[in-house]
């Protein structure tokens, strides 16, 4: 069967055994599991692992790790819900669009934390907690952020950000924060500055992602 990598990813989302196969795997064990061939029943893993010896092996291996982390996080959503989601994306065009968008996001991810965050947002999409437009907009915002900057959102308080202003400026430009005006502060304390407020995208990011550490 000739199948594109993006369609293969969409089909992989509905793999019933995702939780059983990936749930107990630690990130440190991914390489040995891949070498054992235990993940070949997941469509996209079976498709990509055949290319490991052709081209850039290290780059391909890292890409596969990102995909596995993404699918492992998706496995936290029930197989029934994932199957219903894929059933709704049952045309070749829909499967291509979804798979291609996710693969591009995973390919650009500069660390192994972003695939998990992206998957958590997609889980919310699968469960109809956000629509497609909002889900992929938030994923795009995650893509454009430095991972440490995203962690500021966890304990963010609206107002002037002081020493965190450069980070707040980045989060504003990406779309997680909004400009709430300007606080003149006091001359003595030099405490004025731009007031940053968390918007609905920032709140949804916090609601649907669980960040460790």
Tell me the percentage of the chain whose pLDDT exceeds 90.
Answer: 59
Mean per-residue pLDDT for 59-67? 86
For the stretch 113-149, what's the b/e string if a residue is b when 16 or more beta carbons lie within 10 angstroms of its beta carbon?
bbbbbbbbbbbbbbeeebeeebbbbbbebbbebeeeb
pLDDT over 80 (residue 11) = yes
pLDDT in tens, 117-127: 999 999 999 99
Task: Write the DSSP symbol of residue 145.
Answer: S
pLDDT over 50 (residue 207) = yes
User: Mean of the per-residue pLDDT values for the chain?
Assistant: 86
pLDDT in tens, 101-158: 999 999 999 999 999 999 999 999 999 999 999 999 999 999 999 999 998 898 899 9
> Which domains, and CATH codes, for the chain?
5-144 (no CATH), 148-208 (1.10.10)
- Residue entry with tokens 């709140």: 203
pLDDT band at 16, cuts 50/70/90? confident
Q: Specify the 3-state DSSP secondary structure of 65.
A: helix
Q: 186 vs 4, which has greater pLDDT?
A: 4
Mean per-residue pLDDT for 27-45? 71
pLDDT over 50 (residue 18) = yes
d(CA 121, CA 134): 9
Q: Specify the 3-state DSSP secondary structure of 157.
A: coil
d(CA 185, CA 187): 7
Q: SS3 breakdown of the chain: % helix, strand, coil, rounded to 5?
A: 60, 5, 30
């Amino acid at each position: 069967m000739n199948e594109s990598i993006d369609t293969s990813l969409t089909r992989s989302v509905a793999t019933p055994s995702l939780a059983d196969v990936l749930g107990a795997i630690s990130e440190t064990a991914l390489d040995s599991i891949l070498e054992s061939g235990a993940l070949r029943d997941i469509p996209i893993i079976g498709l990509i692992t055949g290319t490991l010896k052709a081209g850039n092996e290290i780059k391909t291996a890292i890409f596969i790790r990102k995909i596995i982390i993404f699918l492992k996080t998706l496995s936290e959503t029930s197989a029934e819900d994932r199957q219903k989601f894929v059933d709704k994306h049952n045309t070749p065009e829909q499967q291509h669009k979804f798979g291609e968008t996710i693969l591009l996001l995973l390919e650009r991810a500069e660390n192994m934390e972003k695939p998990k965050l992206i998957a958590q947002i997609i889980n919310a999409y699968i469960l109809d907690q956000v629509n497609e437009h909002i889900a992929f907009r938030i994923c795009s915002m995650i893509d454009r952020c430095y991972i440490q900057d995203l962690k500021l959102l966890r304990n963010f308080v609206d107002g002037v950000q002081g020493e965190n202003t450069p980070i707040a400026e980045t989060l504003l430009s990406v779309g997680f924060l909004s400009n709430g005006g300007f606080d003149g502060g006091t001359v003595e304390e030099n405490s004025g500055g731009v007031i940053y407020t968390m918007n609905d995208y920032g709140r949804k990011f916090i609601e649907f992602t669980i960040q460790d550490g």
